[in-house]
Amino acid sequence: MNALGIALFALVILISVSLHEAGHMGTAKAFGMKVTRYFVGFGPTLWSFRRGETEYGVKGIPLGGFVKIVGMTPQDEDADDPKAMWRFPVWKRSIVMSAGSIVHFILAAVAIWGLAVFSGLPNPDLPTKEPSLGQPAVLRVQPCVVTTLPLRDCEAKDPASPASPASQAGLRDGDKLIAVNGAAVANWGEALQQIRPLGVGQAATMTVLRDGAPQTVQVTPAEVEREMTDGSVRKVAAIGVGLDSTIPYLVKYGPGEAVGASAQYAGTMVGATFEALKEFPKRIPALFSAIGGEKRDPNTPISVVGISLLGGEAVNEGAWSMFVGLFIAFNLFIGIFNLLPLLPLDGGHLFIAWFERIRSWVYARLHKPDPGRVDYFKLMPLTYTVILIFGAFTLLTVTADLVNPISIYK
């Protein structure tokens, strides 16, 4: 199942990229531009046919696809064709160049809507990071408390699992903790912050809401080992309770209300994508460390190889909503990344097209001759530099994903 999942996610990526190129082709044809080739894959041609002025086909290396639009720049060899792309108004060229990213955004939007209706989206009332910590501290009282790692179910006769201080003090399931030693507690995260530093063996005052009325209980914490968020293990105080919140992590929506919920979730995902892009330079040293054998930071960038491996894990575990979530993240990332104002990305062509248009407008207002089109040949050194950087980064992430991959369930 894991191998099937990897292959399935790789196929999903191939389809997404092929639809990206189809977006360019479809809008170019709609505006009357000349499109000569549309292929899925690279390398030797396996099969093709011609319809009108366009050849369609499949090539032997399934690592993407491409479309050939005649005369994208005035410096192209076929730029003298009357249906060359560069001859069309800038707004039409802008639509054609951004169509690929728009396809990715549409795919992500449809997938998000599907999750909202059939599986559910993260509850907007909970924080996006560590959602359980943002829930009200409604308690589930344990019969005993595990004092040493690893965490496990309590066993009454286990010396490392004595009776829980909460049960001994009379706390009950459903009690909502609202204060510890007079300090207000708003959620489970704040409850942990207040309880863990308490003095072991010293009674602490816990205020809870029970049947809508406040109750005060004296609880004497036990000393336990717990793993911190930084991976370290420390001895802290615990009272033997867990979280018993009625607030669900996922919320399903009807087809209509799912539209608004999907838009809100998409906005969150887009913001997270931009944050990830800003963090890329900082994460590069961690990739080298992971290749060297250190524990892989789950926040480091991954390649299409890495995300396919995660897709395989999701299928192996039967976590199809996770599989769809990876599909959404991939399409949003590629859609946004492709619009960065750098050649050879579509965003680079968009930037130049509008730079030319604005520059021509400014020169006209200054009654100066139109400076004409940007010479792409002069930009080739910058373009090759960007390609080299992207290529090196891709090689680095692929190597890390093969040597020390990120795992969801391990």
- What is the rounded distance in angstroms from the CA atom of residue 88 to the CA atom of residue 343? 20
CA distances from 122 to 129, 247, 265 (A): 11, 11, 8
Q: Quickly tell me which residue has 């995300």 as its tokens.
A: 307
Tokens of 50: 């011609």
Query: pLDDT value at position 214?
Result: 92
pLDDT of amino acid 11: 94
What tokens does 279 get? 């963090």
| Among 21, 53, 225, 275, the one annotated catalytic | 21
pLDDT of residue 133: 66
Helices (H) and strands (E) in the chain, counts: 9, 12
Phi and psi based region of residue 170 (left: phi greater than 0; alpha: psi -120 to 50; beta: remaining): left
Q: Which stretches of the chain score pLDDT less than 70?
A: 125-134, 153-160, 229-231, 245-247, 409-410
pLDDT reported for residue 159: 65
What distance in Å separates the CA atoms of residue 321 and residue 121, rounded to the nearest whole number? Answer: 10
Residues in Cβ contact with 346 at an 8 Å cutoff, skipping those fewer than 6 apart? 97, 98, 100, 101, 338, 339
Among residues 82, 103, 92, the alpha carbon closest in space to that of 354 is found at: 92
Annotated active-site residue 223? The verdict is: no
Contacts of 184 (CB under 8 A, 6+ apart): 178, 190
For the segment 264-298, what is each residue's pLDDT rounded down to a tens digit?
999 999 998 998 888 888 889 989 999 998 888 88
Q: What is the pLDDT of residues 44-90, one digit of tens each?
A: 999 999 999 999 999 999 888 999 999 999 999 999 999 999 999 99
Q: Which domains does the chain have, with CATH numbers?
A: 100-124+254-403 (no CATH), 131-243 (2.30.42.10)
Q: Is 109 helix (H, G, I), strand (E, B) or coil?
A: helix
Helix H or strand E encompassing 288: helix 257-291
